[in-house]
């Protein structure tokens, strides 16, 4: 059996976890067994104190699908992001792809409006056909994702 985790480089992992949690319907991943918090685990794992400065017991940079169906996601702290566009992105489906209606476009736009309030920005809209309608967006750190 293969399991996997999506790891996303982040300048502010907690901010991105907070942003993506409602987008994907995920919940914070509990710390490993035997640890009360992720901070406790990071300390035990030997993460340097300077990397943990400012973190508290509520810190969480990892998300899980509460149904167990999707991959775990870890927003990994990095000191700088690589230049250029990333090779992976997330597609967030808010309406069945086969629906070719104005209602589908409205569902996408409703979700886009919610994400704008949460800190995302629109990069482009692709509206050639209602069944293909999607919006390319950027999360608060510029990571590309699509709402379709």
pLDDT per residue over 84-110, tens digit each? 767 677 888 887 765 667 888 899 999
Q: What is the mean pLDDT of the chain?
A: 88
Q: What is the pLDDT of residue 24?
A: 95
> Which DSSP state fits 69?
-
Indicate the burial class of 146 (C-beta count within 10 angstroms; 0-12, 13-18, 19 or more).
middle
pLDDT of 145 over the 80 cut: yes
pLDDT > 80? residue 21: yes
The pTM is what?
0.77
pLDDT at position 131 over 80: no
126-133, long-range: CB < 8 A, 24+ apart: 129/100, 130/99, 130/100, 130/101, 130/102, 130/104, 130/105, 131/97, 131/98, 131/99, 131/100, 131/104, 133/104, 133/105, 133/108
Give the domain ranges of the chain.
5-77, 90-147
**Residue pLDDT, tens place only, 36-54:** 999 998 898 888 888 888 8
Q: For domain 90-147, give the fold.
A: 2,3-Dihydroxybiphenyl 1,2-Dioxygenase; domain 1 (3.10.180)
Whole-number pLDDT of residue 148: 87
Is the separation of the CB atoms in 136 and 123 below 8 Å?
Answer: yes
In this prediction, residue 57 carries a pLDDT of 92
Give pLDDT, residue 26: 98
């Amino acid at each position: 059996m293969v399991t996997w985790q999506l790891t996303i480089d982040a300048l502010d992992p907690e901010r991105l976890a907070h942003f993506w949690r409602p987008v994907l319907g995920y919940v914070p991943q509990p710390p490993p067994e035997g640890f009360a918090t992720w901070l406790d685990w990071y300390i035990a794992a030997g993460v340097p104190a300077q990397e943990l400065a400012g973190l508290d017991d509520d810190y969480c940079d990892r998300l899980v699908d509460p149904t167990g169906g999707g991959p775990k996601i870890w927003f990994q702290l990095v000191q700088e992001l690589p230049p250029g566009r990333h090779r992976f992105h997330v597609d967030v489906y808010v309406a069945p792809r086969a629906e070719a209606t104005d209602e589908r476009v409205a569902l996408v736009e409703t979700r886009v409006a919610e994400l704008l309030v949460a800190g995302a920005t629109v990069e482009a809209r692709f509206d050639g056909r209602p069944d293909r309608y999607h919006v390319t967006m950027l999360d608060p750190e510029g990571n590309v994702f699509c709402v379709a």
